[in-house]
Structures are given as structure tokens and as C-alpha cells.
């Protein structure tokens, strides 16, 4: 009875050995093909320079008092005055935003005793966008007169940078493709499809740091001079081609 199964066993073993060899050879061929795939990469750069069309201002209203409530009330009064002034200058609600509101206890430090709370400080920070750049100096002067006592930063920016970024990217891709065509001709190679793409974007607004001082609000004939300048947006791309 067992003798009848021996041919079947040997047949099955032979099939498994042949199948294993086939899979091994096939896998090895795929690995060799992947290992011999050649690629070449090209970089390209695109730059777009544009004048800033908005001014972004960070300002703070800082008040101090013996109690938290009175410090907050004073801060609220001044912040309302600042917002009312901004609206008179045709600054829209969407361009006025409170980004932080903090209450800090103030301490005195007796020489031989525990620190004692002597009062409270309220710090409200707002950001505003000024779309009429000719009015920047006057608005800075006005918010200080209205109650803002810190101008933390001022930066001139592009309101819709994505449009300029897309333009710079288009230029960068064209630059990289031009380099690819030139090298393909010089080296006598045949480039295939693009198999990888990456990009880096640069270009940021430069802030101007100002501080609201006693001579800035209402004491002079004009506000500070703040030239807006230009912003540059640059995009670097990397294209990887397959060599046929």
C-alpha cells in the first residue's frame, strides 16, 4: 500500500523544488532590475519680487492697578478706544484680532518675609492689518494716543502669497526642465518620466520693531517713518528623472 504513495510523494517534492527555484529566479530578476534603474536629478529656482500690500502690526495694551478688576476695566476701556479709532480709519473687523489676554500678579519682596501681591497687570495683545500703506504712520500714532502702549512689531507682507508662490514654482520647474534638456543633449542620454519631485520655499517679511514711547502719541506732528520695501518669494524644486 505504501509503495503506491511513493511516486506521488516524489512528484509533489519535485513540483515544490521546481516552484521554489522559479520564484527564486524571478525574485532575483526583479531585484536586479530595480538595482540597475538609473536616475538623475536637476534643481531649478524661481523668484518673484513684489511690493508689500499690507502692514501687519502687533500691539499691546498694558494696564496696572491694585486690583485685578480695576486693571481689567482700565484695559477694556483703552482697548475699546483703540478699536473705535481703527474703525474710524476704515480698518475692518476681520483685520482686528485679539491674540492674547493675560493677567499677571505683581509682587513686592520684603527683605525678611514672603512675597506679597501688590497689584495686577493686564496685557492684551492685538494684531491688525493695515491695507492702505500710506496710512501706516498715522495709524501707529493714533493707536498709541488711543491707549496702546507697546508696538511689538510691524511687518510689511503680501496678502495672498500663494499666488506669487505658484508663479515662482512654475518658473523653478521650467528652469529644472531646461537643465534636464541641456544635459540630455550634452551627454547623449535618454531621459524618461519624472519619478520624484520636491520643493523648498523661501522669502519672509522682515519685521520692524518699534516701541510706543511718550513722544510717539500725540506729541509730534507726524508718526514714525516706516518704508514698506519689497518682498521676495523664492521656490527651489528638484526633479528626478528615470534614465531609459
For residue range 166-205, list pLDDT tens digits in order.
999 999 999 999 999 999 989 888 999 999 999 998 765 5
Query: What is the C-alpha separation between 229 and 152, in angstroms, rounded?
Result: 20
Lowest model confidence (mean pLDDT) among 29-33, 45-49, 228-232: 29-33
Alpha-carbon separation of residue 72 from 79, 80, 104, 123, 195 (angstroms): 10, 12, 11, 9, 59
187 or 42, which is more confident: 42
Residues 93 and 188 occupy one common structural domain: no
Please determine, for residue 217, whether its predicted confidence score (pLDDT) is greater than 60: no
Please report the DSSP string for 187-237 in residue order: HT--EEEEEEEEEEEE--PPEE-----TTTSSSSSS-------EEEEEEEE
pLDDT at 232 (0 to 100): 86
pLDDT at 48 (0 to 100): 92
Burial 166-175 (b: 16+ CB within 10 A, else e): ebbbebbbeb
Residues 94 and 170 occupy one common structural domain: no
pLDDT at 123 (0 to 100): 98
pLDDT at 209 (0 to 100): 47
Residue 18 lies in a domain: no
Domain extent at residue 120: 53-159+205-226
Residues 128 and 189 occupy one common structural domain: no
Counting the structural domains of the chain, the total is: 2
Residues 67 and 91 occupy one common structural domain: yes
Residue 168 lies in a domain: yes
Residues 217 and 105 occupy one common structural domain: yes
Residues with Cβ within 8 Å of residue 101, at least 6 apart in sequence: 122, 123, 124, 125
Q: What is the mean pLDDT of the chain?
A: 83
203 or 123, which is more confident: 123
Top-ranked range on mean pLDDT: pick from 86-100, 152-166, 175-189: 86-100
Residue 30 lies in a domain: no
Lowest model confidence (mean pLDDT) among 119-123, 133-137, 151-155, 159-163: 159-163
Residue given cell 496685557 in the structure block: 123
Residue 76 lies in a domain: yes
pLDDT at 12 (0 to 100): 54
Residue 101 lies in a domain: yes
Mean pLDDT of 27-35: 40
Lowest model confidence (mean pLDDT) among 42-56, 127-141, 214-228: 214-228
Residue 75 lies in a domain: yes
Residues 176 and 135 occupy one common structural domain: no
Residues 191 and 83 occupy one common structural domain: no
Mean pLDDT of 213-239: 66
Amino acid at each position: 500500500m505504501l509503495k503506491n504513495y511513493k511516486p506521488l510523494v516524489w512528484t509533489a517534492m519535485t513540483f515544490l523544488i521546481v516552484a521554489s527555484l522559479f520564484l527564486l529566479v524571478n525574485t532575483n530578476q526583479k531585484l536586479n532590475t530595480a538595482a540597475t534603474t538609473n536616475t538623475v536629478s536637476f534643481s531649478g529656482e524661481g523668484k518673484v519680487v513684489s511690493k508689500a500690500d499690507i502692514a501687519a502690526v502687533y500691539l499691546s495694551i498694558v494696564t496696572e492697578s491694585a486690583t485685578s478688576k480695576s486693571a481689567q476695566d482700565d484695559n477694556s476701556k483703552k482697548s475699546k478706544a483703540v478699536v473705535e479709532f481703527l474703525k474710524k480709519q476704515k480698518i475692518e473687523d476681520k483685520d482686528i484680532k485679539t491674540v492674547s489676554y493675560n493677567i499677571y500678579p505683581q509682587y513686592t519682596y520684603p527683605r525678611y518675609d514672603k512675597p506679597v501681591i501688590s497689584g495686577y497687570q493686564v496685557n492684551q495683545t492685538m494684531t491688525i492689518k493695515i491695507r492702505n500703506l500710506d496710512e501706516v504712520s498715522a495709524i501707529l500714532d493714533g493707536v498709541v494716543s488711543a491707549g496702546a502702549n507697546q508696538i511689538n512689531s510691524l511687518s510689511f507682507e503680501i496678502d495672498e502669497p500663494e499666488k506669487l508662490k505658484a508663479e515662482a514654482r512654475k518658473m523653478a520647474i521650467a528652469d529644472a526642465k531646461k537643465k534636464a534638456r541641456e544635459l540630455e543633449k550634452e551627454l547623449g542620454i535618454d531621459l524618461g518620466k519624472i519619478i520624484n519631485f520636491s520643493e523648498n520655499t523661501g522669502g519672509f517679511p522682515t519685521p520692524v520693531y518699534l516701541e510706543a514711547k511718550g513722544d510717539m502719541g500725540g506729541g509730534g506732528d507726524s508718526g514714525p517713518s516706516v518704508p514698506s520695501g519689497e518682498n521676495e518669494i523664492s521656490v527651489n524644486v528638484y526633479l528626478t528623472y528615470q534614465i531609459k
